[in-house]
Chains A and B, each alone.
Chain A
Amino acid sequence: GDSVTQMEGPVTLSEEAFLTINCTYTATGYPSLFWYVQYPGEGLQLLLKATKADDKGSNKGFEATYRKETTSFHLEKGSVQVSDSAVYFCALSDRQGAQKLVFGQGTRLTINP
């Protein structure tokens, strides 16, 4: 079945550091790819998405590019802030049927001032 693998956390960085969180996937067909963020005490929020190969999703300074050849969707940000501290989930959706989401295990990110 479909699956998503993320780099294990926790990840701790200093403010203004460069961030990469790796995500690779296994899927039949052509899934859509997502990054969700979960801030402490809150529900998951969609951070960005890409629906086809070579698409780049971006939001709040974060970017991820849908790489079909490497089956990857790595999350990057050039300069992180303390407010970026959260848990980040990579996910995929089979665009057929009920759009079920398959999540990676999540990566906890802590940014120190």
Chain B
Amino acid sequence: GAVVSQHPSWVICKSGTSVKIECRSLDFQATTMFWYRQFPKQSLMLMATSNEGSKATYEQGVEKDKFLINHASLTLSTLTVTSAHPEDSSFYICSADERASSYNEQFFGPGTRLTVL
């Protein structure tokens, strides 16, 4: 099956620094990638949708200047949390939409746990 990887799997950083998270589709091309945020014992909340070669579409309430998304190729999207603060600590999950699928099924990465001190 289609595999999506994320790197790093966990990261700890100091307040005020920036952190980049990579999301890769390993064996397929992804038309669209999605970034989610999951708080403990809560559901996934969609942050943004990114299409290769174009600007990401952010959900209401998500600061696009804080959560920078780049989707430079059909297999890689990155999320950069700029000037991170403790309230940004969360579990970030990406998914990729397989281009060749007739249904456009989403495949999820294993997530990245960010802790901001």
Q: In the complex, given contacts A43-B93, A101-B44, A103-B44, what are 18 additional A-B residue pairs having Cβ atoms less than 8 angstroms apart?
A: A41-B110, A42-B110, A43-B4, A43-B109, A43-B111, A44-B95, A44-B108, A46-B106, A89-B43, A98-B49, A99-B32, A99-B104, A100-B46, A102-B46, A103-B43, A104-B43, A106-B41, A106-B42
Which residues of B62-79 have CB atoms within 8 Å of chain A's CB atoms?
none
B-side interface residues toward A, CB under 8 Å? Answer: 4, 32, 34, 41-46, 49, 51, 57, 93, 95, 97, 103-111
Q: Is the CB of A43 within 8 A of B110?
A: yes
Which residues of B sit under 8 angstroms from A101, Cβ to Cβ?
34, 44, 46, 95, 106
Give the residues from 60 to 113 in chain A that come closer than 8 angstroms, CB to CB, to chain B: 89, 98-106, 108
Count of chain A residues near B, Cβ 8 A? 19
**Which one of B32, B42, B106 lies within 8 Å of A105 (CB-CB)?**
B42
Taking CB atoms, residues of chain B closer than 8 Å to A46 are 105-107
Using Cβ atoms and an 8 Å threshold, which residues of chain A touch B106? Answer: 46, 99, 101
Q: A45 CA to B107 CA in the complex, in Å?
A: 7
| A44 adjacent to B43 (CB under 8 Å) | no
Closest to B104 in A: A99
Residues of A within 8 A of B110 (CB): 41-43
CA distance A45 to B93 in the complex (A): 12
Are A100 and B4 touching (Cβ within 8 A)? no
Q: What would be 27 A-B contacts, judged by CB atoms less than 8 Å apart?
A: A36-B108, A41-B110, A42-B110, A43-B108, A43-B109, A43-B111, A44-B44, A44-B93, A44-B108, A46-B105, A46-B106, A46-B107, A89-B43, A98-B32, A98-B57, A98-B97, A99-B104, A100-B34, A100-B46, A100-B49, A101-B34, A101-B46, A101-B95, A102-B46, A104-B43, A105-B43, A106-B43
